[in-house]
Amino acid sequence: MKNIDQYYMQQALALATRGRLTVSPNPMVGCIIVKNGKIIAEGWHIRAGQAHAECLAIKQAGEQTKGSIVYVTLEPCCHTGKTGPCTDALIKAQIKEVIIATLDPNPQVAGKGVQQLKKAGIKVKVGVLEKQAQELNKIFFYYQQYQKPYIFAKWAMSLDGKTTVNADDSKKISSDKAAIYTHQLRNICDAIIIGKNTLVEDNPRLNVRLDIKSAIHPIKIVVFTKIQEVDLSWQILDQTDAKTIFVCTDITDSAKQILQSLNLEFWILPAQKDKVCINSLLKKMANTGITSALLEGGMKLIENFATVYAINEFITYISPVLVANNNPKRQLVINKTSYLGCDLLINSRIKEDQNV
């Protein structure tokens, strides 16, 4: 086998992904314990506040841990939070060696876990599949480094660059498969953000509609300038799945009374160029424990985020339709896609069964 450490670490990374939907704001972590060339135990962090991957694996291994090798995707913690330090558990288990994919960016750890293990006489190796481990927990790493939530911006557009369709046509530009992908994105984010226009025009629910039992609904955030009134028909007023937060620079007394009567949270933030200051919003979100968010529009709000470089990833659905000149959508067939330098070339034609 070319690299035994990479082999076992790859398995630990695969284990870590099992906590993708449930561990936020914690990172995903996987752990494998190997002795005499065989895996004797494994564990992964299942849910925030519950046992860490290393402790679960140690418990599974029992008395076999003495002299074993531990492969873990993130530096073991050395502080007491909702659970005890993993370094203490590793030392007590008489582990011979700990192989770590990447250091923990959390200032409470950040190399201190490695130091404690070495001080106890445990051999430590760091950096096995480091890039993969950091990519797996990109949200956690960004949040720890910048104290800001990781922002995904998502929109769908037609091949002629339109992001909305006519009122008498289908409101959807993208396909059903794209809609499923959007709900998968919602499922991994702590929050969804939309603007007032999207709320008024679409009246969305902003929940996760996937055929899985483990779906976790994100916090719903709506950004206004001034909240003049609250329409009781807005579906996001229903907080059965997740809470809703209204964000504004000002609010009328009547709107405030309605939100308070519905036990709805609202944040009054500073203005920047007559709009909510995006950096103030990001700071407030981070202080509330929101580590990631899916920005779903409209385009003006996405532009406001992009202007202050607050978007980490852009996710764009380009649908093979034309919606220009107030005509019904025209379906296209994509013949070929390719890259010309950094440009994406899309070659398409009108579907033959449509009148042109």
Q: Does 117 share its domain with 211? A: no
Which of 111, 137, 163 is a domain's end point? 137
Residues annotated within a binding site: 52, 77, 86, 156, 170, 186, 198, 202, 206, 209, 296
Q: Does 53 share its domain with 190? A: no
* Residue-wise pLDDT tens digits, 275-324: 999 999 999 999 999 999 999 988 999 999 999 999 999 999 998 888 87
**Among this protein's residues, is 54 annotated catalytic?**
yes
* Residue-wise pLDDT tens digits, 14-47: 999 998 888 888 899 999 999 998 999 999 998 8
* Residue-wise pLDDT tens digits, 99-119: 999 999 988 888 889 999 999
How many domains is the chain built from? 2
Q: Does 177 share its domain with 67? A: no
> Is the distance from CB of 165 to CB of 171 less than 8 angstroms?
yes
Residue 333 contacts by C-beta under 8 Å, 6 or more apart in sequence? 320, 348, 349, 350, 351
pTM > 0.95: yes or no: no
**What pLDDT does 243 receive?**
95
Q: Which of 42, 54, 201, 313 is catalytic?
A: 54
Residues annotated within a binding site for substrate: 170, 186, 206, 209, 296
- Confirm whether 222 is domain-assigned: yes
> Is the distance from CB of 313 to CB of 153 less than 8 angstroms?
yes
Residue 354 contacts by C-beta under 8 Å, 6 or more apart in sequence? 330, 331
> Is the distance from CB of 314 to CB of 153 less than 8 angstroms?
yes
Local structure of 17: helix, strand or coil = helix
Q: Does 166 share its domain with 68? A: no
* Residue-wise pLDDT tens digits, 122-133: 999 999 999 999
Range of the domain at 15: 4-137
Q: Which stretches of the chain are DSSP H helices? A: 4-16, 53-61, 86-92, 112-119, 130-136, 138-146, 176-188, 196-202, 253-261, 278-287, 299-307
Mean pLDDT for 220-245 is 94
Mean pLDDT for 204-219 is 83
- Confirm whether 15 is domain-assigned: yes
List the structure tokens of 308. 């202050």
State the CB neighbour count (10 A cutoff) for residue 150: 20
- Confirm whether 107 is domain-assigned: yes
- Confirm whether 336 is domain-assigned: no
Beta strands at 265-268 and 250-251: parallel, antiparallel or unpaired: unpaired
Query: Average pLDDT of the chain?
Result: 90
Q: Does 294 share its domain with 167? A: yes
Please tell me the total number of residues recorded for the chain in this structure.
356
Residues annotated within a binding site for Zn(2+): 52, 77, 86
Q: Does 131 share its domain with 159? A: no
